[in-house]
Amino acid sequence: MVPNISQGNLRKLPSVGALATEARGLDETLSERLCVIVARREIDQIRSSIDSGRDIPSFDHLVSNVAMKARLISHSSPRPVINATGVIVHTNLGRAPLSERALRAAYNASVGYSDLEFDLESGNRGARSDHLKEIVRDLTGAEGVFVVNNNAGAILLVLCALANEGEVLVSRSESVEIGGSFRIPDILMRSGAVLRDVGTTNRTRITDYASAVSEKTSLILKVHRSNFRIVGFTSMPDLREIVAVASKASVPLVNDLGSGSLIDSREYGLRYEPMVQDSVNDGSSITTFSGDKLLGGPQAGLIIGDARLIDQIAANPLARTLRPDKMTLAALHATLTHYIDGDASNTIPVWRMISMELSEVEARAESLLSCLPEGVKGSVCSGASTVGGGALPGETIRTALVRLDHKSISSMDLVRQLRSFESPVVARIEDEAVILDPRTVLDNQMPRLRDVLASL
């Protein structure tokens, strides 16, 4: 009779209890229940591998594996990281970090009850977006505001509410894919509206809009090309010209700005990024933009403009499915107060990074060099930071970079090691060296970054 090798190996497996106990002995901060759950999962995986003919790992290896996996689960997630990539609004790293004031506001809104949908003066039910009406009016001049969970949702809701089954005029140069397969033609189709292309890819004239208007036209949609540029033989009418066409046809002009800047980017040597208040002043019926890009707040989509249209949008059944929570609204309101106070460039992290003087970045870079241990060679070189997040494509900011070369491990291993610390550092590889850009490191993370580099 041929012996059953798998059955024999299975008898050698440690018990779940023994594995969990030893794993918890390596880290007493781990809960007993968590270690049992992870140990059971580990044993199940080993059973499957035995059936495939693999050997059983040593007991110590299993214990170490269980402890490591339990720690990963017990860590807060998503985990905070140190962004040393040089990309300010880094989509994969959570986009805009919040200001201290916004963080406190979100915390205060979450630890107890709040007047989220309650009018304290009348004692009656209120509306979530009411918390932002006054401050948005003061900053932009818009009559009304409605907030949803992101700008993609804002566009979908506006189209569903204002253009269902009607034609929407969009310049061919603005029939874009914004990111994550969010395509304007697809969103129009999902909303029930019909896309009517205007002009050509590189040149659209005001006469193209005027001649495309018909009794089927529900609105004109202008989309900011936030993540690419068309250069060369190009033309596009001024926003006010398109507003005039929309007004003559008695249809709304919806302007999707994407990034939502309230500060003139030209003040910091960057190309002009369309500003929210300019869109309102130029006559857009509705303006939509993100809360977590150049606005520098939490993920949100803001819909502002004509009060009558805002009420129509808010009454759409889809609005409830897209509404933000109390923490988002609190953080968004707090972020906007920085613009009211006039200190946004110093207090909102995104604008603090954009406005940081080169001399300060150079001083940061030099301070990082002083922390490097023997075996790691470092140097400071010039380079460029980018805004990122689908804003100001092709625009860069002069910066000072720290170049790292390790004498015994490759750049790929070094950049992986930087990500393995308790405070993971995300860097980039350029010309076979690890590159750190201090511009995108938050002020309160600089000491931790120095500690990480000293530990290499």
Cβ atoms 174, 325 nearer than 8 A: no
Among residues 240, 220, 236, which one has the least CA distance to residue 282? 240
Contacts of 146 (CB under 8 A, 6+ apart): 129, 302, 303, 304, 310, 313, 314, 319
CATH of domain 98-344: 3.40.640.10
Q: Name the CATH code of domain 82-91+352-454 (choices 3.30.1330.100, 3.30.830.10, 3.90.1150.180, 3.40.1830.10).
A: 3.90.1150.180
Q: How confident is the model at residue 359, as a pLDDT?
A: 98
**pTM (two decimals):** 0.89
Q: Which two tokens stand for residue 406?
A: 């390790």
In this structure, what token pair is assigned to residue 99? 């200001």
Q: What string of H, E and C letters represents the secondary structure of the chain?
A: CCCCHHHHHHCCCCCHHHHHHHHHHHCCCCCHHHHHHHHHHHHHHHHHHHHCCCCCCCHHHHHHHHHHHHHHHHCCCCCCCEECCCEEEEHHHCECCCCHHHHHHHHHHHCCCCCCCECCCCCCECCCCHHHHHHHHHHHCCCEEEEECCHHHHHHHHHHHHCCCCEEEEEHHHCCECCCCCEHHHHHHHHCCEEEEECCCCECCHHHHHHHCCCCEEEEEEECCCCCCCCCCCECCCHHHHHHHHHHHCCCEEEEEECCECCCHHHHCCCCCCEHHHHHHCCCCEEEEECCCCCCCCCCEEEEECHHHHHHHHCCCHHHHCCCCHHHHHHHHHHHHHHHHCCHHHHCHHHHHHHCCHHHHHHHHHHHHCCCCCCEEEEEEEEEEEEECCCCCCCEEEEEEEEEEECCCCHHHHHHHHHCCCCCEECEEECCEEEECHHHCCHHHHHHHHHHHHCC
- Cis peptide, bond prior to residue 80, ω within 30 of zero: no
Non-local CB neighbours of 297 within 8 Å, separated by 6+ positions: 96, 98, 102, 291, 331, 332, 334, 335, 336, 348
The answer for 97, left when phi > 0, alpha when psi is -120 to 50, beta otherwise, is: beta
Give yes or no on whether 82-91+352-454 and 98-344 have one common fold: no
Give the closest residue to 441 by CA, choosing from 427, 420, 421, 429. Answer: 427
Would you say 22 and 30 are in contact if contact means Cβ atoms under 8 Å apart?
Answer: no
Q: What is the pLDDT of residue 395?
A: 87
pLDDT in tens, the chain (456 residues): 334 445 556 677 899 999 999 999 999 999 999 999 999 999 998 888 776 667 788 899 999 999 999 988 888 788 899 999 999 999 999 999 999 999 999 999 999 999 999 999 999 999 999 999 999 999 999 999 999 999 999 999 999 999 988 999 999 988 887 766 778 888 888 888 899 999 998 899 999 999 999 999 999 999 987 666 777 777 899 999 999 999 999 999 999 998 889 999 999 999 999 999 999 999 999 999 999 999 999 999 999 999 999 999 999 999 999 999 999 999 999 999 999 999 999 999 999 999 999 999 999 999 999 999 998 999 999 999 999 877 787 789 999 999 999 988 999 999 999 999 989 999 999 988 999 999 999 999 999 999 999 999
Looking at residue 186, what is its pLDDT? 86
Which residue type is seen at 356? M
pLDDT of residue 137: 97
What is the residue extent of each domain of the chain?
Answer: 5-74, 82-91+352-454, 98-344
